[in-house]
Chain A
Amino acid sequence: MANAQRILTLYDQPMWESIQRERMALPKCSHCGTFRYPPGPVCAECNSLDYAWTEISGEGKILSWVVFHRQYFEDHPPPYNVIAVRLAEGPIVVSNLVGGEPEGSWIDQPVTITYRPHLNRTQHAFSLADHPTPKSKREEHA
């Protein structure tokens, strides 16, 4: 069993650098304003090739969630959760919920982005918007 690896295409690299800085950014179409996730060379809405890396607000809502009971990666011992979040900017991202968990259904719970170290990288996670957020490095350095 091995650790979970990132997909690092030419277009993913700048996104992961923005996550490392704890200011996650995505390509935003210069023509129609659509955000791209995963980052890619062309806008799926209007096929424009133009874009600008734009920091996201970090706000979103949980679309769905699962709990893994089987181990697939060395760095993810079960049980652990995975959530799908609809970002305020539109795209759906997959992440983990950290901090307090909601009573009952997690669906439609508002969440806020946070960052945490994982292996030799920083990656995003989300916490409930109305729960105390685990202190991020970004706040410590503010």
Chain B
Amino acid sequence: MAPRTASVIGIGQTDWVGDHARVRSGEKPHDSNGYAAQAFVSALADSGISRNDIDGLIVGPTTAYERVGELLGLDVRWGGQADAMLGVMEACQAIHAGLAEVVALVYGNDQRSAAVNYGGADAQGGGAFLSYVYHAPWGFTSQGALYALMARRYMQERGMSHAELGEVAVAQRMAAARNPAALMRKPITIDDYLASPFICEPLHIFDYCLINDGGVALIVAEAERAKRIGRAPVAIHAVGRHDLNRGATSLEPRLTDYYQPAQKLVAEQVFGMASLGPGDMDALQIYDSFSLHIPLALEGYGYCGTGEAGKFMREHGISLARGLPLNTGGGHLSESYMQGWNHQIEAVRQVRGEAGERQVPNCRHVHYSSDVAGKAVAIIYGR
């Protein structure tokens, strides 16, 4: 894929805070399809284009492609189902290949009201990712536990303290405090973090993502067409991916290299494609189902040296107050767990300069990173 092939021309989301309150009071405001539909309508309005301009559709993994297409009345010439990062990448590929010109990406999830389990005997996705269920006989379950096991070894091997890991939760809560769409807006300190209960030790409750109902949508268009039809196109300068499948169930790539060899290869690809480096990034959005993702990506993508992430977070900073602004909407830990989709629209808002109280001044480039189930993916958004 050549750089600058595609741009984001519209973003939308549902009322995470309002729906959260309704779910807590025992209501079921919408199902996954309902959240997806609301987010799509909001993104389409934001883009200013007509629904008839859309000729591609990607839906998130939590809804059925055919049904969402039917509900939204979208007959398209290209489409499929993908998670947030692969969805953006596939939209770029389809646009580059000439298979579509304007792609709607639509995500809706009722994981909180439906009480979806990410651990235990009903853990989701076990067939696809055997490591999520294979070690159950020994009580080892939940994705949080996988990151706890990584964190313990990483902290000792690379010399990161519990308090340094706590910098992630504290910084993201500070960002959420400035974001009216975030669920958890009460600031916390490192002491609050250290005093909070463990879920799977060494990870505390503040290291875990905030499971919530909601939807997110994006409209991605071919870059030249985006300039003609889009209200405020944000360029996708580069996308990259590298997967570590070998030994995945026995946790080899997690426990020995923390997925960082894959991130280093993706860094070469995306920074090369965009002719930019880590120093050119004004903000980062990192998939953070658990806090540990942040130090791993900081090292993996070269924002600091190997073994320096703890010190980097503590001394340089990763918040809106100082250092490198990271997960500026509050991320999965404090905004809402939208499975990487909320990070995409936060990146777009920052580049547009529409992030309100949490706006990073003169934000030109935003780097998105994820490492889910051994797939390291990066996207560079920019002006």
Partner-B contacts on A (CB < 8 A): 1-7, 37-38, 44, 63-70, 72-73, 75-76, 80, 82, 84, 91-96, 105, 107, 118, 121, 123, 125
B152 contacts which chain A residues (CB < 8 A)?
64-66, 107
Given contacts A3-B121, A107-B156, contact A66 B148 (CB under 8 A): yes
Interface 9-mer from B3-11, B248-256, B325-333 = B248-256
Q: With A and B bound together, what is the CA distance between A95 and B249 in angstroms? A: 14
Name, among B139, B148, B198, B199, the residue most crowded by chain A CB atoms within 10 Å (CB to CB). Answer: B139
Interface 9-mer from B127-135, B276-284, B312-320, B355-363 = B127-135
Please provide the chain B residues from 138 to 182 with a CB less than 8 Å away from any CB of chain A in the complex.
138-142, 145, 148-150, 152-153, 156-157
Closest to A95 in B: B138
A-B contact pairs, 13 of them (CB 8 A): A1-B121, A2-B121, A5-B136, A6-B137, A68-B200, A69-B198, A69-B200, A72-B141, A73-B121, A82-B138, A92-B251, A93-B250, A95-B138
Q: With A and B bound together, what is the CA distance between A67 and B151 in angstroms? A: 12
Tell me how far the C-beta of B163 lies from the nearest C-beta in chain A, rounded to whole angstroms.
18
Given contacts A44-B247, A91-B250, contact A70 B199 (CB under 8 A): yes
Closest to B204 in A: A69
Given contacts A73-B141, A92-B252, A95-B138, contact A107 B153 (CB under 8 A): yes
For the A-B complex with A2-B122, A64-B149, A92-B252 known, give 7 more contacts whose Cβ atoms are closer than 8 Å. A1-B121, A5-B137, A7-B130, A72-B139, A73-B121, A96-B138, A107-B156
A91 contacts which chain B residues (CB < 8 A)?
250
**Contacting pair B121 A4 (CB below 8 A):** yes
* B186 adjacent to chain A (CB < 8 Å): no
Closest to B148 in A: A66
Q: With A and B bound together, what is the CA distance between A1 and B256 in angstroms? A: 33
**Contacting pair A38 B251 (CB below 8 A):** no
**Contacting pair A94 B140 (CB below 8 A):** yes
Tell me how far the C-beta of A78 lies from the nearest C-beta in chain B, rounded to whole angstroms.
9
Q: With A and B bound together, what is the CA distance between A91 and B249 in angstroms? A: 11
Tell me how far the C-beta of B19 lies from the nearest C-beta in chain A, rounded to whole angstroms.
25
Q: Mark B196-217, 1 if CB is under 8 A from A, else 0.
A: 0111111000000000000000
A118 contacts which chain B residues (CB < 8 A)?
137
Partner-A contacts on B (CB < 8 A): 119-122, 130, 133-142, 145, 148-150, 152-153, 156-157, 197-202, 246-247, 249-252, 255-256
**Contacting pair A67 B120 (CB below 8 A):** no
B199 contacts which chain A residues (CB < 8 A)?
69-70
**Contacting pair B145 A68 (CB below 8 A):** yes
Q: With A and B bound together, what is the CA distance between A60 and B161 in angstroms? A: 27
State the majority secondary structure of interface residues on A.
loop
Q: Point out the residue from A4, A37, A95, A125 that lies within 8 Å of B141, measured CB to CB.
A: A4
A70 contacts which chain B residues (CB < 8 A)?
199-200
**Contacting pair B139 A73 (CB below 8 A):** yes
**Contacting pair B201 A66 (CB below 8 A):** yes
A37 contacts which chain B residues (CB < 8 A)?
250
B201 contacts which chain A residues (CB < 8 A)?
66-69
**Contacting pair B137 A4 (CB below 8 A):** yes
**Contacting pair A72 B120 (CB below 8 A):** yes
**Contacting pair A5 B148 (CB below 8 A):** no
Closest to B131 in A: A94
**Contacting pair B145 A66 (CB below 8 A):** yes
Closest to B140 in A: A82
**Contacting pair B137 A92 (CB below 8 A):** no
**Contacting pair B136 A4 (CB below 8 A):** yes
A63 contacts which chain B residues (CB < 8 A)?
153, 255-256
A3 contacts which chain B residues (CB < 8 A)?
121
Tell me how far the C-beta of A102 lies from the nearest C-beta in chain B, rounded to whole angstroms.
13
Tell me how far the C-beta of A73 lies from the nearest C-beta in chain B, rounded to whole angstroms.
6
Q: With A and B bound together, what is the CA distance between A37 and B198 in angstroms? A: 30
**Contacting pair A64 B246 (CB below 8 A):** no
Given contacts A4-B141, A6-B137, A7-B134, contact A66 B149 (CB under 8 A): yes
Tell me how far the C-beta of A81 lies from the nearest C-beta in chain B, rounded to whole angstroms.
9
B120 contacts which chain A residues (CB < 8 A)?
1-2, 72-73
Q: With A and B bound together, what is the CA distance between A76 and B199 in angstroms? A: 14
B140 contacts which chain A residues (CB < 8 A)?
82, 94
Closest to A125 in B: B138
Closest to B119 in A: A72
**Contacting pair A38 B141 (CB below 8 A):** no
Q: With A and B bound together, what is the CA distance between A121 and B256 in angstroms? A: 31
**Contacting pair A96 B139 (CB below 8 A):** yes
Q: Point out the residue from A4, A84, A95 that lies within 8 Å of B251, measured CB to CB.
A: A84
